[in-house]
Structures are given as structure tokens and as C-alpha cells.
Chain A
């Protein structure tokens, strides 16, 4: 067992070195970028950190961004561990949002108390996302259609379905825009920090991350998923039913994303609208989730940390404009730099190791 611990220590050291190097490199690149735009590096950094972590309101916003980012990233990471590239997170988030909203409207008249109503609503969202993941899964298993194409296409389908619902049957006539009627109060996710405005979504997301860790390492299904993701052919030779495993993987990805969408509706927007997947002016959650999964190496703990960093950056991005006149999108350039440096540093280390 002692040997096992030292093995883990070594891996952890490697992790730490890689990320310290990548972080330093990313900061350096980011600094060059900020200076080139005539900004002050320290001011910029301070502004982002203060506005995302330094005030209660800002911290609450960061938490609210953290939950969909983490869930969406877990969805990507879960697929990657099983060897499937899920780029349909956005569609699955919309499907989850539809599931949540639909459930809320359907049960509206029943006067359910929130401890019953909220879980049912979230379950509706999970099922919506699950179904959106089941479609590429079954097409993959039955007809060998690449899940990459199917998930991309389903993104559009879900987007226009939301468009239709928010403008059509569920439209709020008083709002005068593409937005649904608000969901009933009892289906709204409770606030953890009512004054600052943080809902309970981040707790659910953290539970999901812990759950994924245990599922992957302590269940036979998780083992089979990792085996298939590592070498599907060898897994088949070992008697694993790859088709069945695929039909666990893709719908579970969808369910995790669907939960993200449901939380966005139930906790944040409280109605269905376009633009649920991602803040205005920012990349979609689906795109960011892929980056986070890469940085976090598809490991629930790593993904949680990376999602937290991204949540800070996203939530701090607005203040950049105000403080130093940099466009808020500068933060996303910075995010891209982090991802590129991590990938670069990893690749360098792999070259030296191999």
C-alpha cells in the first residue's frame, strides 16, 4: 500500500508541476496581451479577483456560474472517460431546461411544496438531457453513426425547440420577447445566500462531482466505462458489452448537462429562454466545458478546480470593461491562453517522458 501512495504522490507532483508551469506561462502571456491593449496588469488582475470573489454579490455570481460550468464539464469528462466526445452539451442543457420548465408547468396546479416540487423539476431536466444523450447513443450503437455529428445536430434542434417554446406555447405575453412564463415559485431552487443571490445549484454540482468519482472508481459499470474508453477492442475481448456501455455513457452525459440546464432555469432565470447556455458575450457552456474537461484531465477533482477557476474568470469579466476599458471578452482570450498553455506543457512533458 505504501508503494501505491508513493505512486499517487508522484502523479500528484507531476500534476502540480504541469499546472504551475502552465499557470505561470498563461499569466505571462495574459500580461503581454493586457499591456498590448494599454492596460495595467495588476489592476486588471485585481479587478477580476475583487469583483468575482471580493464581494458577497460577486461571490454569489461566481457560485451561480460555477454550478452549470461544473455539471457541463463533468458531462464532457464522463464521455471522454468512456471514449466518447460529447460536443452536444449545449443541446443537452437546453433539453434539460425544457424538461425542467415543462415539468414545472405540468405540475403547477398541484400545490406541491418546494421540497417535492424542486426535485421533481430537476428530475424532469435530467430526463430531458438523458433523452438528448440517448439519441446519439442509440444511433451509435445501432448504426455506427458518429456521436460527434449527431450531438452537433441535436444542439440546433434543441436551440430551435427552445426558440419555439419561448415564442409560442409557453410565451409570456407581457414580456414582449422570447421568454416563457415564469415557473411556479415552489419549483424555484432555494437560495443559499438570499441577500447576495446565490442558489443551491453549486451544492448539487459538487455532489455530482463526488458521485462521478465514486461511480467511476467503485462500481463495475464505472470500471467497464473506463475500460471501453481506454481500449474498446480489448474491452470487447474481455467480455465487456461495448454497446451496452455506450448506452450508459451518452445518456449519462446528457443527464449531467440536463441537470445543468434545469438548475439554470430553476435557480437563476426562473423561466425558459434562449441564451440559457452561457452568459451574454461569452462562449457557450458547452464550449467552455470541453476546455475545462481538458484542463481537468477528465478527472472529477481536476474538473472541479478548473471549473472554479473558469467561474471566477467568467464572473469577473464584466468588471474588466468598467475598470480598465478592456472588453469583457478579454477574459475569454485569457481562458484560451490557459487551455493552450496547459495543453502545450502537457505535450512537452509527454514528449520528454516518451
Chain B
């Protein structure tokens, strides 16, 4: 495989702009048959945009694409499938109520496909066996674990004739065991002659699993290098450019540094109803003062519901939530904010900002009952001053405090939300911070900013609950990690060193044997 085989995918001079943002600037890219080719870069570097063009989701503004030496026009996902390009997106795009088999066949056989499900079963089974994918074909997709759903998507792409398989951040939703399994499969694909392109921002995955690596930064291709020439330092420099990596920040010290007194947050036997999503079935844990407690779990195992139950957004059927020693289950969100809770919501667009309102008006959300001195009066000057200060202090890229929040980039929106939560903590005494996936989708610099602020809150004596799907982040930040599975806490681990395979086993629902 060291000897380069014929280029299978070639893209030349590809440019793409969204409005004023140039997402791709004259990018060349080439992947060979039978290789695993990594596209490495930060969020927003352009790697997903390039692959969305190859798979027909976006139209490029300029450039050419050739597959196996022949120039092709790809205007739609159908065109891409016709030339053998299949893409598995970051978030599963299957129909939950259909079985795995129905999902795999969907779109393949025109309007009569339903009649043919049984007739085509054997061909799907044969294909699955050839590629070593074991999938329960008759299960409803909804009930399958994320790792299996991903295999369904992969098999679907193969069934639709893909010999160029693109995977966008395929490991985000997987446990460490599942990640290993995925790469074993991908390597066997490559040996069988498929071209595998996988998009990631995780350097270790690239070093462990790829034949060649193409690095993107700021919408440009930096270079393509073979695995043998790559080291962590080289890749970091290519990804980050002159900026270098942000400072690491102090490592967690483990639970021994917990401050005296009542825990900042105490969740005691909390149960919630299924009407709010994944029901919590008696969740109990504490977040002591001055600690960051990480919550590990695969997305959709009750993390969101837990955060909302603690925040007072959904109703607790049984059990208690205590903030700083006070039982708050009966209090409203505003009541809990007044007692020192702040929240970084999971979905920064849907839950975090008021897109049409100005930045200043966004900063005061939640703070507004506290900062205005005259009852009932919205003091605009006070809000504007707060906005100006926050923009300066938190280094938010915005023209001024009057621009609508919707005009900001994702990273700056998250900074805005973090700034608000931090100001809230200052205003209310900052007892508890609930951070639900606070760095998802952020570039390294912005993520480092968020981490720094969470550490500051910890140093100030707050208890921080950090919910994340990224085990690396949790290991880096947490003094203790609890694992959640299906609405239940399956175990707790004290830091600062962690065994990710043990945590991963709990994330997958395997209870620890008593040793």
C-alpha cells in the first residue's frame, strides 16, 4: 500500500462560498483506491464542505471533479451515488420507524421498493457478510445502538453501490470499543479495494488508522502527507498554523480538592416521565464545591433530560435536587438562577440565543431580573454597557453590542452564551454550572476558551457539571467522571487518571462486575 495506486477521486480548484464566507478556496484533493484517507482540520476548516460537494449535497462555485480519471458532474446526491460516492453523515439520517433492511433498501428501487423487501433480503445479507457487518436486519432502527445504526448507514451506502465511502466525524457517537470495531471494518474495506475518506478533528485517530492525511485550515488545503511522515507535532502545526496550540490549562487534580460543606449540587434519586424524552430512573450523584464532575455517555442516554431536570425546565416526578444545600425541586428556572445556578444549554442556537435581538439584549437574558435597579424598567444604557464590557472581556468578534446575535459565527455565539453564564455566576454567587456539551462544534481556540472559564468557576468554588460526548474532553477536565446509560448512572470514577475502556463499557450499558 506504500506504492501509490491510481487516483480514484480527484478534485481540482474547488471553491465554495456561503454568502460572504469563503468556505473553500481553490482546494485540490486526491484520494487513491484502497486507502484510508483522513481529512483533518478544525471545525470550519472546510473538510466537510469539500466532501458535501463530492457527495452532491452542495454545488461548488468553481472546480472540477474526476472519478477514476473521468471528469464527472455531480449536481445531486443521486449523481454522486451513480459514480460510486456514498457518504455517512455525522448524525444518523435513517428513518427510525423502519427496520434496518427497509432503510437500506430505501430510495434504491423506485416506488415499488416495498414489494421487493423480501426478495432483496438475500442480496443485502450477502453483502453484509462479505463486508463483515453484522446487523439485525429486522430490528427497528430506533432501538439500535448508535454504533449499529452507523453500520446500517455504511451498509446502505455500499448497497447503493458506493466504492468511495466518506464518513464525517464517524467516532463522535461511539464508545472506545465501538471506535476500535469501526476502524477494523474500515481497514478491511480498504484492503478489499474501497476508498475510505474519513473526516475528523482528532489527531490520534488519524495517526492510528490512516494511510494518508490531508490537512485543512481556514478553507484551504495545507498539504497531503503519508502516515509515515506524520507525527502529532507536525499535524498540530499544519492544523493550527502559526497560532500553535492553545495552552493546555491546569490538569484536574481529582476529588481530593473538593471544598468543605454541602455539595454545590446534589441530585437525589431523580425520576422523570418518558414524555420529556429519555426517562431518568433514579439518578443520584453529587457535584462537590470546587470540582468539575464530568458526565460521560453516548448522546441520547438522558443527559439532556438530566440537565433540564436540574435546571427546572422539566418536571421531576420523584427525588430531589439540591443547590448549595437547599431543595429546589419546586422552584422555577428563574428561582434556581437566583440561587446560583447557571446553565450552558446543549443546543446553542435553539436554546441559547435570541437570534433577532441584539447582543446586549442576549447578554442580559437570565440576568435581567438581577441587574436592573429600577423595578420593571429595562435600563438600556445599563444593558449596553454590560454588552460592551462583555464583548471586550470575552473577546467576542462583533462590531458592537447592537448587532443581532444571529450575525455571529458559531464560536462567537458560544462565547456569548458562556460570557452570559459567567456573568450570571458573578451576579448570583455562582454555586453550580451545568455545561451540556459546551465545546461541541467549536474550534480548538474557542474550546480552550470555554474550558478556561469552566476552570475559573471551579477555582472560585463552584461545582461544575460537565456533560460531554467527548471522552477526551472529560478526561482532560474532570476531577471525577460519572457514566450515564439509559437514564441511569452506572458508575463513578475518580480522577485525575482514567481508564477510558472501563468508562466506555459503562457508556455501552455493560455493568461492572463486582470485583
Binding site for B on A (CB under 8 A): 3-4, 7-8, 217-224, 226-227, 230-231, 233-241, 353-354
With A and B bound together, what is the CA distance between A3 and B334 in angstroms? 33
CB within 8 A of B366: which of A3, A222, A239?
Answer: A239
With A and B bound together, what is the CA distance between A224 and B365 in angstroms? 9
B341-385 vs A, Cβ < 8 Å mask (1 yes, 0 no): 001010000111111110001001110110010001110100010
Question: In the bound complex, do residue B334 and residue A239 qualify as a contact, i.e. CB atoms below 8 Å apart?
Answer: yes
Question: In the bound complex, do residue B403 and residue A7 qualify as a contact, i.e. CB atoms below 8 Å apart?
Answer: yes
Number of interface residues of B (CB under 8 A): 35
A-chain residues with CB within 8 Å of residue B336 when the two chains form the complex: 239
Known A7-B403, A218-B380, A220-B368: A230·B356 in contact at CB below 8 Å: yes
B320-337 vs A, Cβ < 8 Å mask (1 yes, 0 no): 000000000000111011
CB distance from B425 to the nearest CB of A (A): 14
A-chain residues with CB within 8 Å of residue B352 when the two chains form the complex: 234, 237
The verdict on B257 contacting chain A, using a C-beta distance below 8 Å, is no
A-B contact pairs, 21 of them (CB 8 A): A4-B384, A4-B402, A7-B399, A217-B378, A218-B378, A220-B377, A221-B376, A223-B361, A227-B357, A231-B355, A233-B350, A234-B351, A234-B353, A234-B365, A235-B354, A237-B311, A237-B343, A237-B352, A239-B333, A239-B334, A239-B366
With A and B bound together, what is the CA distance between A326 and B345 in angstroms? 59
Apart from A238-B333, A238-B365, list 10 A-B contacts with CB within 8 A.
Answer: A220-B368, A220-B372, A224-B368, A234-B345, A234-B354, A236-B313, A237-B313, A237-B345, A237-B351, A239-B334
The verdict on B209 contacting chain A, using a C-beta distance below 8 Å, is no
CB distance from B362 to the nearest CB of A (A): 9
CB within 8 A of A7: which of B19, B353, B354, B400?
Answer: B400
Residue of A nearest to B384 (CB): A4
CB distance from A140 to the nearest CB of B (A): 19
CB within 8 A of A233: which of B19, B351, B357, B369?
Answer: B351
A-chain residues with CB within 8 Å of residue B353 when the two chains form the complex: 231, 234
Residue of A nearest to B372 (CB): A220
B-chain residues with CB within 8 Å of residue A8 when the two chains form the complex: 402
Most buried by B among A221, A222, A231, A239: A239
With A and B bound together, what is the CA distance between A222 and B379 in angstroms? 12
Residue of A nearest to B335 (CB): A239
Question: In the bound complex, do residue A227 and residue B334 qualify as a contact, i.e. CB atoms below 8 Å apart?
Answer: no
With A and B bound together, what is the CA distance between A235 and B337 in angstroms? 13
CB distance from A9 to the nearest CB of B (A): 11
CB distance from A11 to the nearest CB of B (A): 9
With A and B bound together, what is the CA distance between A35 and B369 in angstroms? 59
Most buried by B among A4, A220, A226: A220
CB within 8 A of A236: which of B333, B377, B402?
Answer: B333
CB distance from B119 to the nearest CB of A (A): 45
With A and B bound together, what is the CA distance between A221 and B375 in angstroms? 11
Residue of B nearest to A226 (CB): B357
With A and B bound together, what is the CA distance between A241 and B372 in angstroms? 18
B-chain residues with CB within 8 Å of residue A4 when the two chains form the complex: 384, 400-402
CB within 8 A of B365: which of A7, A218, A227, A354?
Answer: A227
A-chain residues with CB within 8 Å of residue B351 when the two chains form the complex: 233-234, 237
With A and B bound together, what is the CA distance between A353 and B19 in angstroms? 7
CB within 8 A of A239: which of B369, B372, B384?
Answer: B369
B-chain residues with CB within 8 Å of residue A239 when the two chains form the complex: 332-334, 336-337, 366, 369
CB distance from B169 to the nearest CB of A (A): 25
CB distance from A252 to the nearest CB of B (A): 15
Residue of B nearest to A222 (CB): B378
Known A220-B377, A239-B366: A227·B354 in contact at CB below 8 Å: yes
